Amino acid sequence: MDGILPVYKEAGMTSHDVVFKLRKILHMKKIGHAGTLDPSVDGVLPVALGKATKTIEFLQESGKIYTGEVTFGFATTTEDLDGEVVESQPLSRPFTTDEIAVAMQALTGDITQIPPMFSAVKVNGRRLYEYARAGETVERPERKATIYRFDRTSEPVFDETTGTQKFTFIAEVSKGTYIRTLAVDLGKQLGVPGVMSQLTRQKAGGYDLSQAHSLTDIAEMMTTNGNVDVWLQPLDSAVSQYPHVALTDEQWAKVKNGIGLPKTALIPVADKIVVTYQGDVKSVFEWRADRNQYRPYRTFSIE
């Protein structure tokens, strides 16, 4: 089986758990996922099978859409409900919808984030969560992110007893964005501690939740049909963001033997292009100024 299988990852398991279980269900080893989801987060996890594992880096380049909930009034070590409470500041009054809207607007567009300590970002060869679990602190690198959309989707609910306020949101973001940190930074905009209290990834790699299948459904399909071909997305769907160029017989004869292509031979022109032959995606080429030609960047097939 070669292709992309959008999987619905349930809360309570890691992305690695999904791959581990799929290897047993599908009876194959060559499987990889694109875009890690935290254990407490559910939603779309694009999984590449067979030859499609070469497309993982391209799947990760696309933006993502999340829906979730933010709560003001306390903060945790992990920036979500999995961590220990490290700060509590009950709200004396609820924020108005206008105040919340202004704060969310301030976090829309190009922003700078500092990754949470409980994350997989590497510093000096170690994951940040390894430092955090050892009780160590380390300077975290700033990361750029783009927030295309960050909107409130429910009326804010204020709990006078606990002094907390919560509401749901939708966020459309670039790769590398930490939604946990976005929730925390929203609280900072309003001068209070905050956490991401729930999160679902609605879209990733170009696939949305309606296309995703649970591990239970996948196992049942394998038992019934012996494959999941009807649910597999083609390899081409992972590189649809790049211009496609159909090669002639003469061009393909050169390309499959590792020969590059001059820019004048290709329309359209872009930094990366997808070359096809007889309707099949063969590889991704990139422009190499030092060679003055397009060169193979990632080859999927030379057959």
Write out the catalytic residue numbers: 38
3-state SS class at 117? coil
What is the residue whose two structure tokens read 């956490």? 195
70, two tokens: 């933010």
What is the residue whose two structure tokens read 């160029």? 245
3-state SS class at 204? strand
126, two tokens: 């170690």
For residue 289, give every residue at least 6 positions away whose Cβ sits within 8 Å of its Cβ, in sequence order, or none: none
For residue 120, give every residue at least 6 positions away whose Cβ sits within 8 Å of its Cβ, in sequence order, or none: 36, 127, 128, 129
H helix runs in 210-275, sequence order:
215-225, 249-255
